[in-house]
Amino acid sequence: MIVYLQMISEPADKSKFESLYMKYRGMMYHVAYQILRNEADAEDAAHQAFLSILKNMDKIRQADSPETRAYVTIITERKAIDTIRDRKRVSLVEYEETMYGIAFEPPGDHGIGDAIAHLPAQYREVLLLRHAQGYSTREVAEILELNYDAARKLLYRAKIALKDQLEKEGMSV
Amino acid sequence: MNKTPFSDNELTNPAKSALTSMMSAIPQPEECDHEFSSEFEEKMQDVFKKERRRRAMRRASKRVAMLLLVCCVTAGVYLGVNTNARAAFFGWIKEHYENYFVYCFSGNLSPAAEPMLPKMEFKPEWLPSGYVWDGSSEINGQVEVRYENQAGDEIIFGCMSRPADRDWTVESWELDLSDMTHTQTTVHGHEADLFTSNGSDGRKILMWTAYEDDAAFYVSGVVEERDLLHVAERVTLVNADDLPDPDGFRLAWVPEGYTLFDEEESKHSSRLIYADAQGRLLKFTYIRGQDETNLFVDTTGATMEQVRVREHMADLILSHDPDIASGIMWTGLRNEAFYISAYLDKNDLIQLAEAVVPVYKPLFQATWVPEGYRVEEILGGDRHCTVLYQRDDSDQVMSFDYFYSHSGAGMSVFAEDNNYMDESLIVNGCHGDFYRSLKEDEGSMLVWFDEENGITFSIGGFLSREEFQRMAGSVERTR
């Protein structure tokens, strides 16, 4: 095979992606199945999530880390919700604002943490990527396959939704 | 600018708590066992195969700097190991070691041979009272203008425009940011980084990018944050005469659900038409700056409003009739007129307008490509560009790549398992090498060197020797 030196898959990346694949594929299926309740759809969502992760390998420093596990989970949840949306053929806004994705107990701080946990998945995901995982808005855009302005707008909407959620829970902002 | 109710600092810890809670509901990877279907496994094998190559190709445009290191480090090693394999061209040295062929440029280029990057000139139209111009400098495309008041306080305005690599970072400026606190703000809606000294001097540095990332700026000084922001917001493009004419414009973003439906092209105008699942149309029209062309928009029953689209003022025409689309129109730097009509609200129309980006031809282009191949993606800029082609009836890809070199820079070719034949030949009057794969399912490569101008060209793909040569022979400079 004749290729550029830089076209050769670099050993570091190759082993990182393969490690990710081997380590998280079962967990990704589990996350997707929890949302989709269908084996084929869950595999499809896991496959889509891998494609997305592969596009953003530079965002992953180490395959085996809590940050990467969380990252992989968020991407899989997103792809599972995308799968539902594609199946239902409903508009993004109308549907996504009612999708809550992974079921989990809020942290119990009776404040912003609980409110984030109660947000629809699309808002929770973008806030977690930006503020818990520490990705820049530009990186969040790349991860969610949005353009920069769309990601910025989504973050803004997420913060407004968070403010509304806090007010709904009787907390002042 | 929208003001949100939470600062980044307020959200960090609660977001981390929420993430911890979420992850505690997910079993550990070791606990999740699932036997995947053979379809899934096959798809993933395809992913491994295709994405590895594609991803590596995507990176090609960003790797010249890294290759510089590769060549500088390895050349000495090769010299010691395999000097017989050395072949020197004018300015080029080719090394051969096991499966690697390394090309390093060692000649001196005259400045005239380098492509002239079109520049954009900016200046702040407002400064705090008492500041006057004190001097300016330009090093490696980085312009710095100093302003000083009678007390000797300085404001420095820095600007870089149209770089080869638009992957801006705060480190691009090489400023000392130690012992400074970082916060985020915006300048005309563009995300900006503000650094404030933790010492008593109160020095601040504000950095941001604009013009679709074509330009990056910073302003620093011992001034109030409000004044620094005001300086930044009044930075104005004062000269763009040497901007190349774009070959067209496209929308870098369309709302979810819209896909390209039709394209219309006439002598002076172009139109891209998108449609959503309900058949609602989104039309993007641009008219090149021509005296005899007019754009008529019926505004009967609509509300007119002036809004800002990046650096331009635009007319927003908001329809009150759900059956009539709203629109937005504005003019560009070269008197192009743009008009977008769609069944969207004000914010989406502005976002669409801001997603309009120019399309340029690469500086060099192959005017002939084998039948069935179409351009899939163009990466890089004038100094280094990779054009990726995809064949219509298969997943085969082909690449045409060129880059301007400087002393010490180079490229490498890797030939795996000795399943190849290499041959020296003359391409377009230049020295070149043809690496032909002996395996049907693996691509070959032609590399040649414009030694006078210091440009390396290459074509990689599944082509015959004749097709490689014909395509190479058709490469022309476009401007």
| DSSP codes joined into one string, B33-56 | -----HHHHHHHHHHHHHHHHHHH
Q: What token pair was written down for B406?
A: 């400087």
Confidence class for position B471, pLDDT limits 50, 70, 90: very high
**One-letter amino acid for residue B196 of the chain:** T
| Angstroms from B380 CA to nearest CA on chain A | 15
Q: Do the beta carbons of residue B446 and residue B458 sit within 8 Å?
A: yes
Q: Do A131 and B355 touch (CB under 8 A)?
A: no
Angle of CA points B420, B422, B428, to nearest 5°: 135
Q: Which of B19, B60, B355 sits opposite A6 (nearest CB)?
A: B60
Q: Which of B1, B11, B384, B446 to mutate to test the interface with A (most CBs of A within 10 A)?
A: B11
pLDDT of residue B412: 58
- How far is CA A111 from its chain centroid? 23
Q: Which of B209, B213, B207, B215 lies closest to B119, judged by CA?
A: B215
Show me where the domains of chain A are located.
12-89, 104-173
Predicted TM-score of the model (pTM): 0.41
Question: Residue B55: is its pLDDT beyond 50?
Answer: no
**CATH annotation of B248-359:** 3.30.200.100
SS3 B357: strand
| Angstroms from A20 CA to nearest CA on chain B | 10
Question: Residue A76: is its pLDDT beyond 60?
Answer: yes
Write out chain A residues lying below 8 Å of B419, CB-based.
1
Q: Do the beta carbons of residue B158 and residue B142 sit within 8 Å?
A: yes
Contacts of B339 (CB under 8 A, 6+ apart): B283, B284, B285, B286, B287, B295, B297, B327, B328, B329
Could you give the C-alpha distances from B169 to A81, B7, B172, B227, B310, in angstroms and in order? 33, 22, 5, 24, 21
Whole-angstrom distance, CA of residue B370 vs CA of residue B466: 10
Inter-helix orientation angle B38-59/A11-36, to 10°: 130
Q: Do B18 and A128 touch (CB under 8 A)?
A: yes
Q: What token pair was written down for B297?
A: 């928009």
- Write down the CATH superfamily of domain B60-111+361-477: MucB/RseB, C-terminal domain (3.30.200.100)
| pLDDT tens digits along B441-465 | 677 888 888 877 778 888 888 889 9
Q: What token pair was written down for B385?
A: 């560009």
Q: What token pair was written down for A51?
A: 């494609």
Q: Which of B8, B20, B48 sits opposite A107 (nearest CB)?
A: B20
Nearest CA in chain B to A127: B15
What CATH fold (topology level) applies to the domain B121-239? Protein Transport Mog1p; Chain A (3.40.1000)
Confidence class for position A28, pLDDT limits 50, 70, 90: very high
ipTM value: 0.89
Q: Which of B15, B411, B414 sits opposite A132 (nearest CB)?
A: B15
Confidence class for position A73, pLDDT limits 50, 70, 90: very high
Q: Looking at the complex, does the CB of residue A75 fall below 8 Å from at least one CB of chain B?
A: no
| Angstroms from A117 CA to nearest CA on chain B | 6
pLDDT of residue B294: 63
Q: Which of B17, B62, B436 to mutate to test the interface with A (most CBs of A within 10 A)?
A: B17
Confidence class for position B90, pLDDT limits 50, 70, 90: very low
Q: Does A33 or B76 have the greater pLDDT score? A: A33
Nearest CA in chain B to A10: B56
| pLDDT tens digits along B202-224 | 889 998 877 665 678 899 999 99
Q: Which range, of A43-57, A93-107, B89-103, B169-183, averages the lowest pLDDT?
A: B89-103
Question: Residue B305: is its pLDDT beyond 50?
Answer: yes
Q: Do the beta carbons of residue B454 and residue B115 sit within 8 Å?
A: no
| pLDDT tens digits along B253-277 | 889 888 887 878 777 788 899 988 8
Residue in the structure block whose two tokens are 């096959």: B42
A47 sits in which H/E element: helix A39-55
Write out chain A residues lying below 8 Å of B168, CB-based.
none
DSSP label at residue A100: -
Provide the mean pLDDT of chain A: 81
Show me where the domains of chain B are located.
60-111+361-477, 121-239, 248-359
Sign of CA dihedral B27, B32, B37, B42: positive
Query: Which residues of chain A from 96 to 115 reach within 8 Å of chain B, CB to CB?
Result: 102-107, 109, 111-115
Q: Which range, of B15-29, B59-73, B391-405, B410-424, averages the lowest pLDDT?
A: B59-73
Q: Do the beta carbons of residue B246 and residue B360 sit within 8 Å?
A: yes
pLDDT of residue B413: 62
| Angstroms from B413 CA to nearest CA on chain A | 5
Residue range B234-261: mean pLDDT, rounded: 78
Q: Which of A2, A55, A156 sits opposite B4 (nearest CB)?
A: A156
| Angstroms from A62 CA to nearest CA on chain B | 15
pLDDT of residue B249: 85
**CATH annotation of A104-173:** 1.10.10.10
Q: Which range, of A141-145, A159-163, B284-288, B418-422, averages the lowest pLDDT?
A: B418-422
Confidence class for position B61, pLDDT limits 50, 70, 90: very low
Q: Do A117 and B436 touch (CB under 8 A)?
A: no
Q: Which of A110, A3, A40 lies closest to B445, judged by CA?
A: A3
Q: Which range, of B162-171, B173-182, B324-333, averages the lowest pLDDT?
A: B162-171
pLDDT of residue B59: 43
Confidence class for position B56, pLDDT limits 50, 70, 90: very low
Q: Looking at the complex, does the CB of residue B185 fall below 8 Å from at least one CB of chain A?
A: no
Q: Does B47 or B88 have the greater pLDDT score? A: B47
Residue in the structure block whose two tokens are 């391409």: B427
| Angstroms from B146 CA to nearest CA on chain A | 31
Please give the biggest Cα pair distance in chain A: 65
Confidence class for position A4, pLDDT limits 50, 70, 90: very low
Share in percent of chain B as helix, strand, coil (round to 5): 20, 40, 35
Q: Looking at the complex, does the CB of residue A162 fall below 8 Å from at least one CB of chain B?
A: yes
pLDDT of residue B163: 53
Q: Which of B34, B56, B351 sits opposite A6 (nearest CB)?
A: B56
CATH of the structural domain A12-89, one choice from 1.10.1740.10, 3.40.50.1370, 3.30.950.10, 1.10.940.10: 1.10.1740.10
Whole-angstrom distance, CA of residue B74 vs CA of residue B72: 6
Please give the biggest Cα pair distance in chain B: 81
Whole-angstrom distance, CA of residue B195 vs CA of residue B182: 5
DSSP label at residue B412: E
Quick check: do B60-111+361-477 and B248-359 share a fold?
A: yes
pLDDT of residue B116: 47
Q: Where are the alpha helices (DSSP H) in B409-464?
A: none
Residue range B43-70: mean pLDDT, rounded: 49
